[in-house]
Every structure is written in C-alpha cells, then in structure tokens.
Amino acid sequence: MVQNPEGKKIPPGLYAHMGLLYAKVGDTEKAFGFYQKEVELYPESRQFIEFISNK
C-alpha cells in the first residue's frame, strides 16, 4: 500500500486515485484493494467508490 513514514494521515482520495490508476492498467485486484482501503479510512467515500467500481 502507500507508505507513510512520518505517521501523518493519508489524505482522502489518495487510495481511490491509486485504485483508478491500477484499474486503468488492468490490475483490478490491486485496484479493489485500494478502493477498500479508501472506504475503511473514509467511510463517506463509499458511494463514490461504488460508482467508480462499476465503470
């Protein structure tokens, strides 16, 4: 996943963006892993993640 050596909080949307990049190159397994992590950290992003997962 994304490394954060300073212990700072990962900003909203970063995992979703990484998921989109992996989906674009055809690695759906990694994409869905990043989508899941985004929803775990930011539950309010669930609707957006569901929307982009169905594309």
- Residues 21-49 pLDDT 10s: 999 999 999 999 999 999 999 999 999 99
Question: Is the pLDDT higher at 8 or at 22?
Answer: 22
- Asked if 12 contacts 20 with a C-beta cutoff of 8 angstroms, the reply is no
d(CA 25, CA 27): 6
Q: Measure the CA–CA gap between 11 and 26, rounded to whole angstroms.
A: 25
CA distance from start to end of the chain = 23
pLDDT of residue 49: 97
Average pLDDT over residues 48-54: 93
Beta carbons of 45 and 38 less than 8 angstroms apart = yes
Q: Answer yes or no: is pLDDT of 54 > 90.
A: no
